[in-house]
Amino acid sequence: MKLKRILKWSAGIILLALIMWFQVAYWTSTNDCDHKTAAPNNPMKAITYCDYGLANLKLETIDKPTPNDDQVLVRVRAASVNPYDWHFVEGTPKIMRAMGVGLRKPKDTRLGVDFAGTATGSVALKPASIAFEQAASANIAGITALQAVRDKGKLGPGQKVLINGASGGVGTFAVQIAKSLGADVTGVCSTRNVDLVRSLGADHVIDYTKEDFAKGTERYDAILDNVPNHTLSECRRVLSPKGKYVLIGGGGPNDSRWIGPFGRIIKTMVLSPFISQEMGMMMADTSQKDLTILADLMQSGKVKPVIDRTYKLSEVPAAIAYVEEGHARGKVIITID
């Protein structure tokens, strides 16, 4: 009885401490917006956001950053937008905020991961034949596709891969990279993208508005899932006994605003040890080596970035809103004058 009471009190105290810690952490969560100087000494244009939400994006003149010894300063000529960016703008899934992104306000007030430009040190050399817009499209989407096809799907000649979401940023790279490795590629997309996906080299295209790949008779050696809109058991049904399921996408605008794709990630991890098929998720690891491999693939013409729309720097909010809809055709690019 006494032990029960001690445990009950301890749990209550821990919970109260956690709530208080959360309250303090929430209200002290801040960013550099309050310390901005009126007139930057060394000005540059940037899109910034002091609070979460698309409506809070601003085109501003800020001070040019000074690189440390292990950094380079890049004069950005073009950038591209990824679903990654709107996750940060919206601060969703909200669990991200507690994982270091900023509880009440975004810690880092600047945006963007993909860029191409000129640098005083080398990041990865852009082949001369590739435009800045094409180079800017390759980082996140291209590297994700390369690592999904080569390292997670382990695809080689003749192996059958299904790419769900074949017409988006990752999908358009994945179709071409899988083809360059000799795989037999099936791409899943909507009617308006069937010709595009076929033109990228897909051997078979499934129009998801007319046919459900999970009800088909084909069995695949790997499924690269950019749009996890089928249950894991539905996906397993069309995988060969030793097939690999690679969860890439998740956290779409319709997913839980609190935990996003984490529920599905946990399910794949729990299931995998008990079945013959390999179920797993991937996180792209942006490495200079893989960026150089992509540059070579682009230079040789084996991979051609698909550019959907181009926006100006001042139009970044519209570009992110477009990507957030989840129907980009290839990559969305930001050009910088």
Question: Is residue 109 near ligand NAP by the rule CB under 6 A?
Answer: no
* Contacts of ligand NAP in 28-87 (CB under 6 A): 82-84
In angstroms, rounded to a whole number, what is the distance separating the alpha carbons of residues 295 and 212?
A: 35
The conformational region for residue 317 under phi > 0 = left, psi -120 to 50 = alpha, else beta, is: alpha
Q: In this complex, which beta carbon is closest to ligand NAP, that of residue 259 or of residue 282?
A: 282
Q: In this complex, which beta carbon is closest to ligand NAP, that of residue 127 or of residue 326?
A: 326
In angstroms, rounded to a whole number, what is the distance separating the alpha carbons of residues 74 and 25?
A: 34
Six token digits for residue 221: 């050696």
Cα 327 off chain centre by: 14
Question: Is residue 256 near ligand NAP by the rule CB under 6 A?
Answer: no
Question: Is residue 262 near ligand NAP by the rule CB under 6 A?
Answer: no
Handedness of CA 283, 155, 177, 231 (dihedral sign): negative
Of positions 93, 102, 153, 251, contacts ligand NAP by CB under 6 A: 251
Minimum gap (Å) between residue 252 Cβ and ligand NAP: 6
Question: Is residue 205 near ligand NAP by the rule CB under 6 A?
Answer: no
The Cβ-side half-sphere exposure at 273, using a 13 Å CA radius, reads: 3
Total number of residues binding ligand NAP (CB under 6 A)?
Answer: 34
- Which of 69-77, 115-123, 312-320, 324-332 is the region at the interface with ligand NAP (rule: CB under 6 A)? 324-332
Q: In this complex, which beta carbon is closest to ligand NAP, that of residue 210 or of residue 242?
A: 210
139 CB contacts (<8 Å, ≥6 apart)? 80, 113, 114, 115, 286, 291
CB 334 within 8 A of CB 81: yes
Of positions 54, 240, 327, 336, contacts ligand NAP by CB under 6 A: 327
Q: Pseudo-torsion of CA 186, 182, 170, 107, nearest 10°?
A: 140
Question: Is residue 200 near ligand NAP by the rule CB under 6 A?
Answer: no
Site string for ligand NAP, 143-182 (x = CB under 6 A): -x-------------------xx-xxxxx-----------
Would you tell me how many other CB atoms lie within 10 Å of the CB of residue 154?
14
- Which of 25-33, 121-129, 176-184, 242-250 is the region at the interface with ligand NAP (rule: CB under 6 A)? 242-250
Of positions 136, 183, 328, 334, contacts ligand NAP by CB under 6 A: 328
Q: In this complex, which beta carbon is closest to ligand NAP, that of residue 62 or of residue 178?
A: 178
Q: Buried (b) or exposed (e) across 199-226, using 16+ Cβ within 10 A?
A: ebbbeebbebeeeebbeeeeebbbbbbb
Of positions 153, 243, 250, 260, contacts ligand NAP by CB under 6 A: 250
Element housing 172 (H / E):
helix 169-180
CB 311 within 8 A of CB 335: yes
Q: What are phi and psi of 100, to 5 degrees?
A: 115, -5
- Which of 19-27, 36-44, 107-115, 225-233 is the region at the interface with ligand NAP (rule: CB under 6 A)? 225-233
234 CB contacts (<8 Å, ≥6 apart)? 214
Minimum gap (Å) between residue 199 Cβ and ligand NAP: 14
* Contacts of ligand NAP in 280-309 (CB under 6 A): 282-284
Minimum gap (Å) between residue 142 Cβ and ligand NAP: 10
Residues paired with residue 188 on neighbouring β-strands, in sequence order: 164, 206
Q: In this complex, which beta carbon is closest to ligand NAP, that of residue 89 or of residue 189?
A: 189
Minimum gap (Å) between residue 125 Cβ and ligand NAP: 23
Question: Is residue 117 near ligand NAP by the rule CB under 6 A?
Answer: no
Six token digits for residue 244: 């690999």
Q: In this complex, which beta carbon is closest to ligand NAP, that of residue 26 or of residue 258?
A: 258
Binding residues for ligand NAP, per CB under 6 A?
Answer: 82-84, 140-141, 144, 164-165, 167-171, 188-190, 193, 208, 226-227, 229, 248-252, 282-284, 323, 326-329
